[in-house]
Chains A and B, each alone.
Chain A
Amino acid sequence: MSDIAPTTFRPATDEAPLFRVVLTLVVLTVLVLLLFAPLVAVFYEALREGLVTAVVSLAEPEALAAIRLTLTVAAIAVPLNAVFGVAAAWFITKYDFRGKAFLITLIDLPFSVSPVVVGLCVVLTFGANTWIGSIMVDAGYPVVFALPGIVLASMIVTFPFVARELIPVMIEQGRAEEEAALTLGASGWRIFRTVTLPNIRWALLYGVLLCNARAMGEFGAVAVVSGKIRGQTATMPITIEMLYNEYLSVAAFALAAVLALLAFLTLGLKTFLEIRHADALAASRRH
């Protein structure tokens, strides 16, 4: 045996060492140039005149109003989209009907349409000179240039995230467990709560986090519907742009840093939950 023991064999899926090094370097370069460097730059610019100046600029009423507005919009849009996303995924995966492929395409539409167009659509549908818009204005709840319009635009743009995450998972899982629960006498709501929801919870969490990140960061659609009224309808991204255009770079970058931190918070939360529930996660994937 020992005379045929060349040790140069390597697994068929392995690449040549040089190629591996080159590949790694390419990936690292791209990561540094496109992700880390810009992020570091944001924080560097924000803290250029010291932490105190940055914090003071955030304490301006305009900045505080922007933070409050962005968090409010996310707090309304994300839960609603989570509910709609689950409902859409449930409908698409648990029932057979004609036009299913068309419906899936329709759900994806916000991904392929420019957010600015989405914003314009909202203005054209709910603006003060339209039928619905005039009714809302008369009732004292204007949609465009106000909170409802911003929430609406954010919801349209972020609508696909939850459904897109859920549909493949729910297709893969099929209907067997739900049917089993049915034969065991469980009601529809109970089945959803005890069987469907636990099985999709990770996909749902990813969807919600992505949806949240995008809802807080949305610029184009909100820029059109909000009217950019300072301290009232200007969200964080809008305010950042306005401050930047006025050469108030410390204020702009300080606010941008807060937005980036909110994104880190989201990612951190995701990682924390993954580590904490690693066992359950592994168990549900191995089956």
Chain B
Amino acid sequence: MQIEIDEISKLFGTTAALNPVSLAIPSGALVALLGPSGSGKTTLLRILGGLEFPTSGRVVFDGQDATGLSVQDRRAGFVFQSYALFRHMTVFDNIAYGLNARPRASRPTKAEIARRVTKLLDLIQLPEIGARYPSQLSGGQRQRVALARALAIEPRMLLLDEPFGALDAKVRKELRQGLRDIHDSTGLTTVFVTHDQEEAMELADLVVVMSMGRIEQIGKPQDIRARPATPFVREFISA
């Protein structure tokens, strides 16, 4: 799905989290929103997912205005920073949650839900963990379960908030490839937020560098490296 962000701004009280920003994300791209904390990257991601609404501007999905579309109707697969797995449910029930939440008419049968959950557990290469609780999983496993849960609703796009933030360096590298593989096999337009420039440069097709609620530069990783548009970008990517 193609995403267009048209002059989006966001005020929290009197402080501006986002000054008007515009951005076009081509269908099927893997995009990194890169910036230090307070740069507005998470706010932008939450606006895309429908968890926040912009003070002004428009969000357009595949040419259709989606600015006022409710979270539930957006069908955005969202992976939260600390994964936000339902702690009182098994991994299986976590992944099945979105399918069980569908209105009766469009809800798959129990057997069909079980089949899909099993398939997703295979996709994240953790076929054996369906009966466990989130507290019994490692950080890396939790992240992959959160990804599977987001994919279960057959989302139109995938949004990830610091998906590797809570992991140690070794697991981080492994899961980077995991995300790349899942992106390539599903073809979903994917946007992830990170403060780690190496991660953004290595993983993304398109990097959006943000600072103080503004977009500093949009470009392919190699272009940003070769030609940083502002002093901020030059400094941030050399860190």
Contacts and interface: CB of A to CB of B under 8 A. Distances in A.
Contacts of A180: 78, 80, 84-86, 149
Contacts of B78: 179-180, 183
Contacts of A199: 87-88
B86 A177 contact: yes
Contact of A182 (B51, B87, B152): B51
**A interface, size bucket:** 20 to 34
A286 B76 contact: no
A182 B98 CA distance: 9
A34 interface: no
A284 B88 contact: yes
B72 A187 contact: yes
Nearest to B80: A176
B150 interface: yes
A20 interface: no
Given A176-B82, A180-B84, A186 B101 contact: yes
B104 to A, nearest CB: 12
B72 to A, nearest CB: 5
A31 to B, nearest CB: 35
B134 interface: yes
Contacts of A181: 86, 97, 101
A30 interface: no
Contacts of B149: 180, 184
A284 B101 CA distance: 22
B135 A283 contact: yes
Interface residues of B, number: 30
A177 B74 CA distance: 18
A199 B134 CA distance: 14
Contacts of B227: none
Contacts of B85: 177, 180
B75 interface: yes
A284 B87 CA distance: 6
Given A176-B82, A179-B51, A179-B80, A185 B87 contact: no
A190 interface: yes
A198 B101 contact: no
Residue among A184, A187, A195, A284 with the highest chain B CB neighbour number at 10 A: A184
A99 to B, nearest CB: 15
A235 B149 CA distance: 53
Contacts of B82: 176
A186 B85 CA distance: 15
Nearest to B72: A185
A176 B149 CA distance: 14
B167 interface: no
Contacts of B88: 198-199, 280, 283-284
Contact of B97 (A179, A184, A283, A287): A184
A185 B101 contact: yes
A128 B48 CA distance: 58
Per CB-CB distance, the 4 closest pairs between chain A and chain B, nearest first, are A184-B98, A176-B84, A183-B78, A186-B101
Given A181-B86, A181-B97, A183-B78, 7 more contacts: A176-B82, A180-B80, A180-B149, A183-B49, A184-B150, A187-B101, A199-B88
22 contacts: A176-B81, A176-B82, A177-B85, A179-B78, A180-B85, A181-B101, A182-B72, A183-B50, A183-B51, A183-B71, A183-B78, A184-B149, A184-B152, A185-B72, A185-B102, A194-B97, A195-B86, A199-B87, A283-B136, A284-B88, A286-B135, A287-B87
Interface of B: 49-51, 71-72, 74-78, 80-82, 84-88, 97-98, 101-102, 133-136, 149-150, 152-153
